[in-house]
């Protein structure tokens, strides 16, 4: 398959941090992807109580990707009214990028283990591959044994032998990628802000400056 392969990383990005960016970079390199679309969510179906508003989350994501030409900010979910489901976003991207283009939805192991709770989750495999980051010391193969039965069945049926399998078909495989553990979460970053701590080396400098100058996350405990 000679079509360029595209990775897709969605998230609330409240705020975007180095764990997200490293995840995207690992996928880019391990799967030989051509670009990663970074897609901040609008109104997430699973999450209430976001802290920064949509425009602020978008602005931070823009600052975070500005130095990496392979990372492309995709604003579509931010501008969508009502709940936004990943399956709808992938349907749009598939229509825009063509039926033969390998698409690869990226996520952390924690997100993958909840995949069966996502809207029309089995349809995701008709639209994209799914690349799951397995963090050091937390093999996905062990965690999947405790997971939902239907998720486990999909995992076993779709597991590809290597990350490069993304280039063999447009969609349908599960790829497990290794990633160094970066114990960074947006929750921990928000809490650190509330306590007046530094965000240096947890988020890109430009994002840290944005958070500071807009006084984001200062009142959260
Ligand atoms: P929160 O703490 O608010 O729940 P988060 O840091 O987990 O946020 P999300 O926007 O919810 O960020 O995550 C988007 C995606 O990034 C998910 O697939 C999640 O698994 C993954 N992810 C988040 N943090 C890391 C990390 N440190 N390393 C690898 N993947 C991560």
Q: Using omega within 30 degrees of 0 as the cis cutoff, is the peptide bond preceding 200 cis? A: no
The pLDDT of residue 42: 87
Atom of ligand 1 nearest to the CA of 179: 29
Whether the predicted pLDDT of 49 surpasses 80: no
**pTM tops 0.85, yes or no:** yes
Domain that holds residue 172: 6-182
108-146 confidence digits (pLDDT tens): 999 999 999 999 999 999 999 999 999 776 789 889 999
The chain-wide mean pLDDT, for the chain, equals 93
| Better-scored residue on pLDDT, 138 or 190 | 190
Establish if 175 belongs to a structural domain. yes
The pLDDT of residue 10: 97
Establish if 126 belongs to a structural domain. yes
The pLDDT of residue 130: 98
**Ligand 1 surroundings by CB, under 6 angstroms:** 11-14, 19-20, 23, 107-108, 110-111, 133, 182, 184-187
CA 119, 120, 124, 130 torsion: positive or negative? Answer: positive
The pLDDT of residue 138: 75
Number of domains in the chain: 1
Establish if 202 belongs to a structural domain. no
Place 221 in a pLDDT band, splitting at 50, 70 and 90. very low
CATH number at residue 144: 3.40.50.620
CA 91, 82, 18, 122 torsion: positive or negative? Answer: negative
72-93 confidence digits (pLDDT tens): 999 999 998 877 899 999 999 9
CB contact at 8 A, 40 and 8:
no
Establish if 96 belongs to a structural domain. yes
* 13 CA distance to ligand 1 middle (Å): 8
């Amino acid at each position: 398959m000679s079509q360029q392969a595209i990775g897709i990383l969605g998230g609330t990005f409240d705020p975007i941090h180095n764990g997200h960016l490293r995840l995207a970079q690992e996928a880019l390199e391990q799967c030989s992807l051509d670009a990663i679309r970074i897609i901040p969510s609008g109104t997430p179906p699973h999450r209430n109580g976001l802290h920064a508003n949509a425009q602020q989350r978008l602005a931070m994501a823009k600052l975070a990707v500005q130095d990496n030409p392979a990372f492309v900010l995709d604003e579509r979910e931010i501008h969508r009214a009502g709940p936004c489901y990943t399956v709808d976003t992938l349907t749009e991207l598939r229509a825009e990028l063509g039926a033969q283009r390998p698409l690869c939805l990226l996520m952390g192991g924690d997100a993958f283990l909840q995949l069966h709770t996502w809207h029309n989750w089995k349809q995701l495999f008709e639209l994209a591959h799914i690349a799951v980051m397995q963090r050091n010391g937390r093999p996905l193969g062990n965690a999947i044994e405790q997971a939902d039965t239907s998720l486990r069945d999909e995992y076993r049926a779709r597991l590809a032998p290597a990350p490069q399998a993304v280039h063999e078909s447009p969609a349908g495989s599960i790829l497990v990628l290794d990633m160094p553990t970066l114990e960074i979460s947006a929750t921990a970053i928000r809490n650190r802000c509330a306590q007046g701590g530094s965000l240096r080396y947890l988020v890109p400098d430009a994002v840290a400056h944005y958070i500071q100058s807009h006084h984001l996350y200062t009142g959260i405990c």
